[in-house]
Amino acid sequence: MHSIMKATVASLALGVASTSAFADGHSSLEGTLRIMSDMSNPAPRAAMEQMAADFDALHPNLTVELEIIDREAWKTQIRNALTANPPDVVNWYAATRMTPYVDAGLFMDISDLWAEPEFDALASTKGAMTLDGAQWGVPYTYYQWGVYYRKDIFEELGLEEPATWEEELANCQAILDSGRKCYTIGSKFLWTAGGWFDYINSRTNGYEFHIQLANGEIPWTDQRVRDTFANWQQLIDMGAFIDDHQTYSWQEALPFMIDGEAAAYLMGNFSVSHFRDGGLTDDQLDFYQFPTINPDVAPAEDAPTDTFHIASGAQNVEAAKEFLRYVTSAEVQSEINAGDALGQLPVNANASVADDKFIQQGFEMLSTNATGGIMQFFDRDFPAEMASAGMEGLQEFMVFPENLDDILERLEETRQRVY
């Protein structure tokens, strides 16, 4: 399930030369730096092993010990690891997924790092790393959600990318009039409906409201929640979504867009490779930021974020903090998020971006246009039991919107029990 490696100085893909600045003034680091990582899939594993090796090479008096653990197994092992014989640095996730370990005193408060000028380049992710007014880790990669659409269909119908909800509805009507559906979606496994709720709720009520709802501070029967569903129902009543979407997985819903029966998909950037594999060219496929609904709220974006944290029981805190500075630097971010490594978005606004149309669009959006905040997605921002009940209710609403009152009452009962 896992392996242990000693970081070496050989074959440094990230390049010691490119990161030699980190050695200046930090040659005093010594002892052992223990890192436990869940980057077990091949490409992330290679990136993690290389980061550890490069950091080791920069600090001749420091020994970096890296333990790679299966990503799924880590979800059940992390608490024991942080309690029994804590390493210095661990991988985890942002926002609500941090809460149990912050509340248990297992993650270290690193607000002092975030106060350093270099961390201003990570500003768009700061909210996702903040609980109780303090920061408890750093991000190292994330990816955007948004609306992927058939540009050739839009051009055929004379449509522009919508910036407002009114423009979105008008586009949708034109698409329906052409004999197509506006959106494909596969809600069989529920979570895709969570993306629609995240966007419509945050665009209707704002990021802070959305997070307060996720934290159990607002009743599901609140009128502002109803306003979210009322906006969503405009699309449902139009017939905007493909029929029988509850019978399809997200992958099984892809052909509707690939074949031109639907014009768009609200989805994460991981879908792009599937669209390309299905035969869509980058001339046919494009992307836009979810449109504004309430002009008084700044746009928040779903961008699930993977993170590093310092264990509260860390033995080499100085080296651990320096490693967090290292992995979030523009140079390292440029390298590990390149196409041949993680192939995702760098969290540092000064990093260079992989030469990919959609990665560049996502980086621009999240670095400059996600002024409301970064959401982690419904099933990460909400506690597990609430997320499960919530996504069941969201899928039911998409199929039977007339059940809204019953759905909200059930979700409110769940909220009162869970929190």
What pLDDT, on a 0 to 100 scale, did the predictor assign at position 17? 37
What pLDDT, on a 0 to 100 scale, did the predictor assign at position 5? 44
What pLDDT, on a 0 to 100 scale, did the predictor assign at position 340? 64
Burial (0-12, 13-18, 19+ Cβ within 10 Å), 208: middle
pTM equals 0.82
Q: Residue 36 is encoded by which pair of tokens? A: 């436990």
What pLDDT, on a 0 to 100 scale, did the predictor assign at position 229? 98
- The answer to whether domain 145-302+374-418 has CATH 3.40.190.10 is yes
What pLDDT, on a 0 to 100 scale, did the predictor assign at position 71? 85
Task: Sketch the domain layout of the chain as residue ranges.
Answer: 2-143+304-351, 145-302+374-418
Low-confidence residues of the chain: pLDDT under 70 = 1-27, 339-340
CATH for the stretch 2-143+304-351:
3.40.190.10
Q: What angle do CA 116, 118, 124 make, to 5 degrees?
A: 100
Phi, psi dihedral angles at 238 (to 5 degrees) = -70, -20
DSSP string, 181-220: EEE----TTSHHHHHHHHHHHHHHH-HHHHHHHHTT-S-T
What pLDDT, on a 0 to 100 scale, did the predictor assign at position 342? 82
What pLDDT, on a 0 to 100 scale, did the predictor assign at position 338? 77
What pLDDT, on a 0 to 100 scale, did the predictor assign at position 160? 98
How many angstroms separate the Cα of 149 from the Cα of each of 251, 280, 304, 367? Answer: 16, 11, 21, 22
What pLDDT, on a 0 to 100 scale, did the predictor assign at position 410? 98
**Helix, strand, coil percent content, the chain, rounded in steps of 5:** 50, 15, 35
- Measured CA to CA, the distance from residue 199 to residue 202 in angstroms comes to 5
First to last CA, the chain: 34
- Same CATH fold, 145-302+374-418 and 2-143+304-351? yes
- Measured CA to CA, the distance from residue 390 to residue 378 in angstroms comes to 9
